[in-house]
Chain A
Amino acid sequence: MTVETLLDREALRERAYAVARGVTDPEMPMLTLEDLGVLRGVDVAGEGEVIVAITPTYSGCPAMATMRDDLVHRLTDAGFHDVRVKVELAPAWSSDWITERGRRALAEAGLSAPGPAPRHDGPIALDLLPTRRAVGCPRCGSTAVELTSEFGATACKALYRCTDCLEPFEHVKEI
């Protein structure tokens, strides 16, 4: 392979990545797949085939097929005619992968961003008390909040309520 071909391929890869990184999450459209941390990479192979790697947030994430569709559609619209989306299961997605820009976008949309994810290297201690998090109300900023449920409208969110402004809000869970 010549140096020119390699350079062309890298330019193609960068152009494809620029398109892929702009695709948003179907359930949290304020986040791009890049900011959510599910876009794991873009490669160019063979005769210009674009291979995009994504990873599910949760095992049962129902948005995977839509993400795959959206990536194919956006890349096809951008002139890439041979696009393949593959699933990367390892390493498992962590909420730590949400970028700083993603965290700001969540806050602007009224969602509370996750704290540091728990480590699962050793035995996992059972926790029978309500989860303690340093969470603030994304609307009024108050820290007087209470957990309503560890499970919300999508697999990745818990439900909270602010006891000052009384508004409910969602918190993206640490995982």
Chain B
Amino acid sequence: MTDATDPAHAPSHPAPDPNDAHGSIFDGLLGTDSSQWAFGTDFEDPLAGVDTTIPEGVDPGDLATYCLMLADDALIASHRLSEWCSRAPDLEEDIALANVALDLLGQARLLLARAAAADPAVVPALPDGSPVPPEDALAFFREAGEFRNVRLTEVANGDFAHTIARLLVLSCARLAVLQRLTTSRDTVLAAVAAKGVKELAYHRDYAGRWFLTLARGTDESRRRLVEALDALWPLYAELFATHPVERSVAEAGVGVDPATVAAEVDVVLEQVFAMSGVERPGRAPLAGVQGRTGRDGLHTEALSRLLAEMQVVARAHPMGRW
């Protein structure tokens, strides 16, 4: 039997015929029933069927909080990147930034779902009977002070150079952390990390190439890039400051102490700076408030504005089914 006649390999997705007199052009999208447009909540669980047992000796609350830290970095960075949709310098970059945002959003979903499974107490309470799944409740119904992302992810977008500088720094740091996380005793975190590493390698190369291009481009592109890097630099050190929860999960063998990747990330960035002829900025780290920073839920005003936009529709419809 040839491939062409093998019914097991015939396409199950015929294109809808727009000229069909018997129905709407969208009928072809519906398949054999309408359930595609009203998934049950269990059908949307990104961890459906995954074993979410907590490894022995790990505090569920710490594991959940750690997952929120990793998830919130990805979620907020993803949102900032997606703000470029239809606004990027050209179509290819528009698509590229959206792809990077989608990868990060996927990582965030898995991590938020893992946080909720590890300790349901972290999930905001919603009205009885609300169909909102736990990872959506975490994304859309937490206040700014409950977000655990580093502040570098949340500051407002500047120009394209600003986005490239931020993406370079973030993807260097996240790639280094996730590489170590692939050996986590928590099998879900290890699996999420192993997938994420492959994706972040692409993100880091993308940002690195554009960094080099802008630095070696015109006087104007170089000026913008250097200014953007300088403006973001005060938030660099926070990426590697160890939060007590990070220390706890690292000691339990499920998490990574970010301080242990600082030197490695420095080396990678130095490589990009050297090839680009850009000096490492000398600006001092932005202090926290009474020692509290993003990991503690202490954020800049930019996060509140971001959340107001990101959460408004979901919050208006806590009983909504999507």
Contact = CB atoms under 8 A, between A and B. Distances in A.
B262 interface: no
B70 to A, nearest CB: 12
A60 B106 contact: yes
Contact of A126 (B103, B194, B197, B208): B208
A23 B31 CA distance: 13
A31 to B, nearest CB: 9
A24 B10 CA distance: 8
A101 interface: yes
B195 A22 contact: no
Contacts of A66: 36
Interface residues of A, number: 60
A141 interface: no
B102 A62 contact: yes
A15 B120 CA distance: 39
B235 interface: no
B9 interface: yes
Nearest to A57: B195
B245 interface: no
A12 interface: no
B82 to A, nearest CB: 11
Given A86-B50, A150-B202, A92 B208 contact: no
Contact of B209 (A84, A91, A130): A130
Contacts of B31: 69-70, 73
Nearest to B202: A150
Q: Is the interface of A mostly helix, strand, loop or mixed?
A: loop
Nearest to B98: A151
A58 B103 contact: yes
A29 B14 CA distance: 9
Interface in B135-185: 175, 179
B79 interface: no
A128 B202 CA distance: 11
A143 interface: no
A107 interface: no
Interface string A109-127: 0000000001010011011
Contact of A69 (B11, B36, B96, B109): B36
Nearest to B3: A101
B120 to A, nearest CB: 20
Given A92-B194, A120-B201, A128-B272, A86 B48 contact: yes
Interface of B: 3, 7-13, 31-33, 35-36, 39, 43-44, 46-50, 92-93, 95-96, 98-100, 102-107, 109-110, 175, 179, 187-188, 190-192, 194-199, 201-202, 204-206, 208-209, 212, 264, 268, 271-272, 275
Interface of A: 18, 21-24, 26, 29-30, 32, 35, 51, 53, 56, 58-62, 64-66, 68-70, 73-74, 77, 84-93, 101, 104-105, 118, 120, 123-124, 126-131, 148-153, 155, 159, 173, 175
Given A29-B13, A159-B95, 13 more contacts: A32-B9, A60-B102, A60-B103, A60-B109, A87-B49, A104-B3, A126-B272, A150-B206, A152-B99, A153-B95, A155-B99, A159-B92, A175-B202
5 contacts: A29-B12, A69-B36, A151-B92, A151-B98, A155-B102
